[in-house]
Amino acid sequence: MDEKTWTIDDHLAGKPDSSVALYHEFIRLVEACGPFAYAVSKSMVTVKGKRRGFAGARPDARGLRGYFDVQRIVGEDARITNISPYTKRLYVHAFRISDLAELDDEFAGWIREAYDVGQGAHLGARENKTGLT
């Protein structure tokens, strides 16, 4: 049996226009950081840097949910629904967005930090140089 290959269009199909708009604005914030690649799965559209995936999002009936990985805990914010340590150097922040205004400069800053993680900023100088993770 063939396993379905998920696409971005699959994630956008049938979602409210407002949720699709949130997804596109999230991607615009990622694009502003620099080049990246997509990794699409059944559960999420992940964006990847040179070293690793650093964020992901999925529109739903209530807005946009997703995650980003940064090297610190960003602090209390209503958009952040959960924070989990991923490694000694990284924290996964789950988020829920329901309004375009929530994708503000502060959120864009978190995405820039996450983008840097995708490029390997979380690795020590030696690990970054040798390509070890």
Q: Give me the pLDDT at residue 126, please.
A: 44
How confident is the model over 59-118, as pLDDT tens digits?
Answer: 999 999 999 999 999 989 999 999 999 988 899 999 999 999 999 999 999 999 999 999
Long-range contacts of 25-32 (CB under 8 A, 24+ apart): 25/100, 25/103, 26/57, 26/64, 26/66, 26/97, 26/103, 26/111, 27/57, 29/103, 29/107, 29/108, 29/111, 30/55, 30/111, 30/115, 32/108
Q: What mean pLDDT comes out for the span 54-58?
A: 98
Residue 1: predicted pLDDT: 53
What pTM value is reported for the model? 0.89
Could you tell me the fold of the domain covering 8-121? Aspartate Aminotransferase, domain 1 (3.90.1150)
The reported pLDDT for the residue numbered 130 is 39
